[in-house]
Amino acid sequence: MNTMEPGAPAARFPGWLRVMLIGRKPKRTLIRALILAVFCFVFFKFFVFRYIVLPVRIEGYSMFPTYSDWGINFVNRLAYRHTQPQRGDIVGIRMAGPSIMLMKRIVGMPGETIAFEHGKLVVNGEEMPEPYLKHHSPAPFIGAVKLGPGEYYVIGDNRMNSEYGKIERKRIMGKILL
């Protein structure tokens, strides 16, 4: 005997809504969702995070205040596939193996002469503005350094607490995303 009165609302989802959300066969939908989740995990872990985007943990204060200590960021390995690094770019620099990198800002391009005089960046004898610095951190005095072909000069934004120097193009892993 039916205990529901005629016209009483049904307690279940309407049939079309159930079909839209979980399909006609919930077990098959669950299996598909699990396969998709495993595929996404494997794809991102072994392809995207190895060959396209490298996650990096920031340690130290050389890029402070632009980036703070113990932050997480990503290096876009495809950023310089068709273009060259530019002055002002923040890049990931491979030092010893793929897992040890420095994060620095490019201030000198190949063929230029770089110096820091009175806390200011001087390129080829001309003082350069640095609008990307949020807070001016004067650099230590660094005498003129001539960059060869394929060499870039890098330094952190916290100029008094940063390693600096020229690096070869092949050490630049990519551009920092965020």
Question: 104, 120, 134, 166: which one is catalytic?
Answer: 104
Q: Where are the domains of the chain?
A: 15-51, 58-176
DSSP 83: S
Question: 62, 99, 134, 166: which one is catalytic?
Answer: 62
Percent of the chain whose pLDDT exceeds 70:
90
At a CB cut-off of 8 Å and minimum separation 6, what does 63 contact? 90, 103, 104, 105, 156, 157, 158, 162
> Closest Cα to residue 174, out of 103, 104, 75, 98?
75
Give tens-digit pLDDT for 148-172. 999 999 999 888 888 889 999 999 9
| Residue 112 clears pLDDT 70, i.e. is over it | yes
Task: Count how many residues are written for the chain.
Answer: 178
162 is an active site residue: no
Q: What is the pLDDT of residue 123?
A: 95
CATH superfamily assigned to domain 58-176? Umud Fragment, subunit A (2.10.109.10)
Average pLDDT, the chain: 85
- Own/partner pairs, 18-26, CB within 8 angstroms, 24+ separation: none
Give tens-digit pLDDT for 22-50. 778 888 888 988 999 999 888 887 777 77
Give tens-digit pLDDT for 118-127. 888 999 999 9
| Residue 108 clears pLDDT 90, i.e. is over it | yes
Helix (H) or strand (E) holding 41: helix 26-43
68 is an active site residue: no
